[in-house]
Amino acid sequence: MKTLVIVAHPDDEVLGMGGTIKKLTKNKNQVKIVIMATGIAARRSTNFKNSSKYDVTKDDQKIIDKQISTIKSHAKKAAKILGVTDIEFLNFPDNEMDTVSNLEITKSVEKIIQKFKPEVVYTHTPFDVNIDHVCCYNAVLTATRPKKNIIVKKVISFEVPSSTEWNFTSVFKPNIFVDISNEITNKIKALECYKTEIEKYPHPRSPKALQSIGNRWGTVSGYSVAEAFSLIRSLED
Ligand SMILES: [Zn+2]
């Protein structure tokens, strides 16, 4: 089975579904990861605080480029641990994907779907506090709308610790649980590749938090450690 994972930022794929990705690849499924935004916010000159234009010095640009290439190399390392070599970066502006039209983001997702032809697409929930996550969800939903001979049969959303739970007034209601008891170690190892993103407990992006969240979904599902998902839609032949 071909599975496409569309995330906004490098590390979302690990935080949201690292264990499930590892399980899918272990079971010989083909998984492709697409990372939509750079993961590094551009710096604005104070003169342009309220403008959508940037005034970035050459030196600043060099620093940003270096940070972007570092985080991409972390993403590739993490993917390798999860058994994925097919990873694509689309370089949309970080934390401001809402400045790009839904049409443009959707078209880029459509292109990838037409080429890769996945049966299942995983992405963010629409309930996250991070705006890029919401933009990804909207684009995936638009790109996978049902029509004759549709390739994508299932669209599934996942939570991202440090975003989903911080949108305090909406509630992520999972109805799919994947047993990742044998994959949690790899999930944590993959997170540890992201040296600039990992934090100390009790931050949700810490190894101990990932273990706790996995245990929490385990208590809901009857597995020792689980990842939780919410089915957006499924087409059954
Ligand atoms: Zn993110």
pLDDT digits (tens, 9 = 90+) for 129-172: 999 999 999 999 999 999 998 999 999 999 999 999 998 988 89
Between the CA of 5 and the centroid of ligand 1 the distance, in Å, is 13
Q: pLDDT tens across 184-193, in order?
A: 999 999 999 9
Distance CA 88, CA 35 (A): 6
Between the CA of 179 and the centroid of ligand 1 the distance, in Å, is 23
Between the CA of 41 and the centroid of ligand 1 the distance, in Å, is 12
DSSP structural state of residue 43: P
Amino acid at 53: K
Q: Which whole-number Å values give the CA distances from 36 to 16, 90, 102, 109, in the listed order?
A: 15, 5, 13, 9
In a domain, 55, yes or no: no
- The end-to-end CA distance of the chain, in Å, is 15
Amino acid at 38: T
Between the CA of 158 and the centroid of ligand 1 the distance, in Å, is 12
Q: How many domains does the chain have?
A: 1
The total of other beta-carbon atoms located within 10 Å of residue 227's CB is 30
In a domain, 62, yes or no: no
In a domain, 156, yes or no: yes
Distance CA 141, CA 116 (A): 17
In a domain, 10, yes or no: yes
Alpha helix (H) residue ranges in the chain: 12-26, 58-81, 102-116, 131-143, 184-193, 207-221
Between the CA of 13 and the centroid of ligand 1 the distance, in Å, is 9
In a domain, 34, yes or no: yes
Between the CA of 6 and the centroid of ligand 1 the distance, in Å, is 11
Is the whole model's pTM more than 0.85, yes or no?
Answer: yes
In a domain, 64, yes or no: no
Amino acid at 2: K
- pLDDT tens per residue across all 237 residues of the chain: 999 999 999 999 999 999 999 999 999 999 999 999 999 987 655 555 555 566 678 888 888 899 999 999 999 999 999 999 999 999 999 999 999 999 999 999 999 999 999 999 999 999 999 999 999 999 999 999 999 989 999 999 999 999 999 989 888 999 999 999 999 999 999 999 999 999 999 999 999 999 999 999 999 999 999 999 999 999 998
Question: Residue 133 in contact with residue 166, Cβ under 8 Å?
Answer: no
Between the CA of 196 and the centroid of ligand 1 the distance, in Å, is 14
Boundaries of domain holding 74: 2-42+69-234
Between the CA of 39 and the centroid of ligand 1 the distance, in Å, is 8
Between the CA of 89 and the centroid of ligand 1 the distance, in Å, is 14
pLDDT at 47: 52
Torsion of CA 34, 40, 45, 51, to 10 degrees: 30
Strand pairing of 30-37 and 86-92?
parallel
In a domain, 53, yes or no: no
pLDDT at 155: 98
pLDDT at 57: 80
CATH number where 215 lies:
3.40.50.10320
In a domain, 61, yes or no: no
